[in-house]
């Protein structure tokens, strides 16, 4: 089945997106998803403004936080036809040695929409019919959410979900999240859902006030406190709450050099430092601190598709709120929206929704 569709393509960094018509047709193992919504991520801004290279040659439609409905399917993917789905931001092949050994995030044949393949700033997208996350529409309605809103589960929620899970957060953990907006805001909520007491650090009082209502037990403004004062405040909080002064779980979600330096400065004995945000900026740190503290640093690239249902369940069960943090806008306004997000005049996570 062929479907007349359109996408908004980036021809070169910083140039206006261009609307291009195309025919969406699935291969034998593929599906066509009618896009309900696609979130605008910090990674998209990196491709568009900062010179981060996409793996696919331009022109390319960006966008990897995608939800929608399967409207066409190849012969081997018929079971998905008609279903509401979230498309994982990183789609591993599922067959290689790395995937078979549970190392899906480093699958060398993985497909990331808006990077390896055409992305979700489009009316439709063609993706492999493997690893999709089905959305229970009855539960979605009961939660008061739209299919477009849960598009951000594809990265903004599942990436910190994977980081929290991998770091080993459990009840009694002290989790520290640097960068309380976007991915960081969801990291706060996920860590709390896993049982941690959460400290949120940011430079924006509005963001800190919001996460204080959604899981953060302590908020600290890094513009008002230096590194030593922040660490002292966290130590004092840990003592008051009966938490350990060791084995802190630190999540760097700001995607900034300053945030990364702050995160490294918070290392304690047995700490886990999880790098979730991305920046092209370089930082200078003393790696020997990892040795001296017997600490570890972990990178986090996406989330294996098999964890998506559990992450989505946190949303549908009300343990993680997304509606207060999401703001829908028409996809056809993409050339207005990108500068607004880049300039921080839009504070919430933008979800672009295509028109018929």
Q: What is the CATH number of the domain that holds 267?
A: 3.40.50.720
Answer yes or no: do 54 and 170 share one domain. no
Answer yes or no: do 294 and 320 share one domain. no
Nearest in space to 99 (alpha carbons), one of 88, 108, 112, 89 = 108
- What was the pLDDT predicted at 2? 86
Residues of the chain whose pLDDT is less than 50?
none
- What was the pLDDT predicted at 209? 96
Q: Cα separation of 78 and 93, whole Å?
A: 18
- What was the pLDDT predicted at 280? 87
**Whole-Å CA distances, 75 to 23, 28, 79, 81, 166:** 18, 5, 9, 11, 36
Mark which of 273, 299, 325 sits at the end of a domain.
299
Judge contact between 51 and 98, C-beta under 8 A: no
Mark which of 299, 324, 344 sits at the end of a domain.
299
Answer yes or no: do 133 and 184 share one domain. no
Answer yes or no: do 38 and 134 share one domain. yes
- What was the pLDDT predicted at 77? 97
State the CATH number of the domain containing residue 319.
3.90.180.10
Q: Which domain holds residue 63?
A: 3-155+303-353
Answer yes or no: do 14 and 151 share one domain. yes
Question: 105-112 long-range contacts, Cβ below 8 Å, gap at least 24?
Answer: 105/162, 105/300, 105/301, 105/302, 105/303, 105/304, 106/301, 112/55, 112/64, 112/302
What is the pTM (predicted TM-score) of this model?
0.94
- What was the pLDDT predicted at 51? 86
- What was the pLDDT predicted at 242? 97
């Amino acid at each position: 089945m062929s479907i007349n569709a359109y996408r908004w393509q980036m021809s070169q960094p910083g140039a206006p997106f261009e609307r291009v018509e195309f025919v969406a047709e699935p291969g034998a193992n593929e599906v066509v998803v009618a896009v309900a919504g696609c979130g605008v991520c910090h990674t998209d801004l990196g491709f568009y403004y900062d010179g981060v290279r996409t793996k696919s040659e331009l022109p390319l439609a960006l966008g990897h936080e995608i939800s929608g409905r399967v409207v066409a399917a190849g012969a081997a993917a018929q079971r998905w036809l008609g279903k509401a789905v979230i498309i994982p931001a990183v789609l591993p092949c599922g067959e290689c040695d790395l995937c078979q050994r549970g190392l899906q995030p480093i699958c060398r044949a993985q497909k990331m929409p808006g990077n390896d393949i055409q992305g979700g700033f489009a009316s439709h997208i063609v993706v492999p019919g493997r690893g999709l996350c089905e959305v229970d529409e009855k539960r979605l309605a009961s939660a008061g959410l739209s299919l477009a809103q849960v598009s951000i589960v594809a990265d903004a929620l599942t990436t910190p979900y994977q980081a929290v899970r991998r770091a080993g957060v459990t009840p009694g953990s002290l989790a520290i999240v640097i960068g309380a907006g976007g991915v960081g805001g969801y990291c706060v909520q996920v860590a709390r859902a896993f049982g941690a007491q959460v400290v949120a650090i940011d430079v924006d009082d509005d963001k800190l006030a919001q996460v204080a209502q959604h899981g953060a037990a302590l908020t600290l403004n890094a513009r008002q406190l230096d590194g030593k004062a922040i660490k002292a405040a966290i130590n004092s909080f840990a003592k008051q709450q009966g938490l350990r002064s060791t084995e802190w779980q630190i999540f760097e979600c700001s995607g900034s050099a300053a945030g990364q330096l702050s995160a490294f400065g918070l290392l304690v004995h047995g700490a886990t430092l999880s790098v979730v945000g991305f920046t092209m900026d370089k930082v200078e740190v003393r790696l020997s601190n990892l040795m001296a503290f017997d600490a570890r640093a972990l990178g986090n690239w996406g989330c294996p598709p098999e964890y998506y249902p559990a992450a989505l369940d946190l949303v549908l069960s009300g343990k993680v709120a997304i509606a207060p943090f999401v703001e829908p806008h028409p996809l056809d306004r993409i050339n207005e929206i990108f500068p607004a997000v880049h300039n921080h005049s839009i504070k919430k996570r933008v979800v672009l929704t295509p028109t018929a």
